[in-house]
Structure 1
Amino acid sequence: MTANTNDAGYQSSIQAEQAEFIAALESQMHDFFASQRTVVEQVSPDALPLLNFIESLSTGGKRLRALLCYWGWRGAGGATLASEVVRAGLAIELFQTAALIHDDIIDNSDTRRGAPAVHKRFEAMHTENRWAGSVADFGVAGAILSGDLCLSMSETAFSSVGQAGAWGTYAREVFDVMRAEVMAGQYLDILAEVEDAADPDTAFQRAERVIRYKSAKYSCEHPLVLGGALASGATAGKPSTLLQDFSNFALPLGEGFQMRDDILGVFGEPEVTGKPAGDDLREGKRTVLIALTEKNSTAQQVQLLNSSLGSPNLSLEKVQELQQLISGSGALAEVEQLIDDKRAVVSSELEKMSVADDVRFALGQIAVKALHRLS
């Protein structure tokens, strides 16, 4: 991720190419939702909120995963703006939306990207129409079904890629493994919130495992490898050296990306992150940041931390107290150092990668944004 004399030229051309790709992705997404709306409407217009809330949440975002898929495709020799990689990008983005919907239910999050979470939107429908029964139960049930529908649609979108993503290809294997790993990682996340760790080192190892399987692999590693596998036509179980190089670069990138997210979940500005201040504290997230805080704190401080984590009505004053505890313990500085260590590995692996210079530059720019982001 070092500068060279060609950076200015690459910057302009890559920005233009990425803008074209994202425009193609948005167009594909618009057409896809239109076709799905016909399917749902034939069942009943009353079921359209399931789709409408998915479409609303899918609009915008960083498109990190789709872009990594695209540059994996290009890095492995795929044609510029080919329809296969646009459809694969759509499938990944839909899977991301499904994961967000279910994650917000699990975490009892009221907002997502500065707007009501999907289960809160269903709650608002229930309240507005003065329906019978529990508002909260209807909200959760509606959101679960929206998430399930979105998972189904991600499979529909990936199937439209065609032979390059068919059964027996490495691309299909990556897409299937990605989805299974996220579900397992999500379970490990909720398990960590209720199961006592034997010691701080065990808690740290558990948090690292959650980072890897709930987020890092599906956020960065699998999308990049998936794009490369689609372009190269790799057979299931037989990834090429280039695809392994993609993994070596993207896995530490994803881990650093999630560590940055964990910091923002405690210290991020609400107007930037779209989440309330200290939201991860209210949700009781047992992150690497929390594990290191426990390791570095006194018994009294650990008691304060554990008695506060997971309290949904945590006041701003209590959030600020916990922020000071985490920062004062040295945990924040340690996680920043871990991110720096990941950045060094990412940079080293990128330099070794056998790809065209413009692809290397594009991946380097994505890495910088992922590890330095504010939201």
Structure 2
Amino acid sequence: MAAVTRETDRLRERMDDHLDRLLEREAAKLAFLGDDLDVIRDVLLGFVRAGGKRLRPSFVYWGHRAAGGSPDDEAVLAAGCAVELMHACALILDDVMDEAATRRGRTTAHLVLAGHHRSRDWLGDPGRFGESTATLFGVLAYTWADAALLGCGDELPAALEVFNRLRSEVVGGQYLDLVHAARRGGDVEEAGRISTYKSGKYTVERPLHLGHAVAGGHPRLRAVLSAYALPLGEAFQLRDDVLGVFGDPATTGKPVGADLLQGKHTWLTAVARERAGEYGAVLLDDVADDEGVEAARALIVATGALEAAEERITDLVTRAVAALDAGGVPAEAVDGLADLADLATRRSA
């Protein structure tokens, strides 16, 4: 397993190098912006370069290896960069929709851009400017994702089909998230559907399918990858839900109880709501300050929802890794995917 971890670490270095060259190439095409290009470099390029663990590109890579792809194939790096840029787009737009103040321990893009407007004493509302320009930067990252995908060579049509499905699903999942937060309430089944499409498929299954497509993998193997990915995607989102309520802000980079304050509809809150009845529903629907966050956290623990989430994560990871025993996956890819399952669900940020 140590060898697999080293390979994953080397992948991140290669991915960062490929991504850096792509960003510079695409940014150079905006030279007509003059000095204003510096803002894009500082905000968008800085955000992408300071990205997290490159988890999604890692799933692209190991999906590629599972399908028999070479570790030296540059096309898989191009596909990984496409997913990472799409992820940057999703995060920037998510922060605008959530009116979030921090991301990865840094001020969110729309607030940085609002400050840029304010410091220059420009006309108009700084907040509106920040949200508008951050949205444009998100769209730019989305556009550059297509530019990255062009490096997939002969398998571009198959890769594009998977990538477009990934994008459609994450948009649909985000829409469901907004709708259910506005409606309030909802059961465990609804929470699961939201997490599957907003995060699970987009984090695990489709990146694996993208790597598989770039390698020209056999259709039967794609089914094996899905059997691994679907429970793991759910486990990943459950860990995210737990961190959104109980995570350390110094590690997660987000305020304490941010998901509770935003009324996020998650499996964790749905279980607490069902077990606590009307009282729990009222408490969870009216979280407005730190005191409300603490009361909601206490309720989640008291109802056993937190314990249930941890047990479910363990069960889902076990099911995911066991699915790789179906055959057809090379041993080194089995080890890599098992390592990723642990990384994706035992994280603290």
Partner of 2:257: 278
**Does 2:337 align with 1:363?**
yes
The alpha carbon displacement at 1:119 in A equals 0.6
Partner of 2:40: 50
**Does 2:349 align with 1:349?**
no
1-side partners of 2:235 and 2:120: how far apart? 44
The alpha carbon displacement at 1:246 in A equals 0.5
- Which structure 2 residue ranges, 5 or more long, are not aligned? none
The residue matched to 1:160 in structure 2 has which SS?
helix
1:183 to 163, 171, 189: 171
Contact kept? 2:201, 2:230, Cα under 8 Å: yes
| Partner deviation per Cα, 1:156-207 (whole Å, 9 max, x = no partner) | 11122222122xx2x222111000010011000000011255xxxx522211
The alpha carbon displacement at 1:347 in A equals 2.2
**Does 2:208 align with 1:217?**
no
1-side partners of 2:124 and 2:327: how far apart? 57
Contact kept? 1:184, 1:213, Cα under 8 Å: yes
2-side partners of 1:193 and 1:258: how far apart? 17
Partner of 2:303: 329
One-letter amino acid of the counterpart of residue 332, structure 1: L
| Partner deviation per Cα, 1:241-295 (whole Å, 9 max, x = no partner) | 1111001101111110001000100000111111111111111101111111110
1-side partners of 2:343 and 2:14: how far apart? 22
Partner of 1:69: 60
1-side partners of 2:189 and 2:130: how far apart? 35
Matches within 5 A, 1:1-375: 10-12=1-3, 14-59=4-49, 60-166=51-157, 169=158, 171-197=159-185, 202-232=186-216, 240-308=219-287, 311=288, 314-315=289-290, 317-375=291-349
One-letter amino acid of the counterpart of residue 340, structure 1: T
Partner of 1:3: none
Contact kept? 1:73, 1:228, Cα under 8 Å: yes
The residue matched to 2:135 in structure 1 has which SS?
helix
1-side partners of 2:96 and 2:319: how far apart? 35
One-letter amino acid of the counterpart of residue 255, structure 1: E
Contact kept? 2:65, 2:333, Cα under 8 Å: yes
Runs of 4+ that moved beyond 6 A: none
Paired residue total: 348
The alpha carbon displacement at 1:15 in A equals 3.1
The residue matched to 2:187 in structure 1 has which SS?
helix
The alpha carbon displacement at 1:353 in A equals 3.8
2-side partners of 1:319 and 1:121: how far apart? 27
The residue matched to 1:109 in structure 2 has which SS?
coil
| Partner deviation per Cα, 1:80-136 (whole Å, 9 max, x = no partner) | 121100111110100000000001111111111000111111011112212221121
The alpha carbon displacement at 1:148 in A equals 0.6
The residue matched to 1:78 in structure 2 has which SS?
coil
2-side partners of 1:138 and 1:353: how far apart? 53
2-side partners of 1:258 and 1:74: how far apart? 24
One-letter amino acid of the counterpart of residue 16, structure 1: R
2-side partners of 1:232 and 1:205: how far apart? 35
**Aligned CA distance change for structure 1 residues 354 and 122 (closer, same or farther; 3 Å):** same
2-side partners of 1:49 and 1:346: how far apart? 42
Contact kept? 2:212, 2:222, Cα under 8 Å: yes
TM-score, normalised on structure 1?
Answer: 0.89
1-side partners of 2:8 and 2:343: how far apart? 14
The residue matched to 1:297 in structure 2 has which SS?
helix
2-side partners of 1:363 and 1:353: how far apart? 14
2-side partners of 1:216 and 1:290: how far apart? 18
- Which structure 1 residue ranges, 5 or more long, are not aligned? 1-9, 235-239
The residue matched to 1:61 in structure 2 has which SS?
coil
1-side partners of 2:24 and 2:326: how far apart? 43
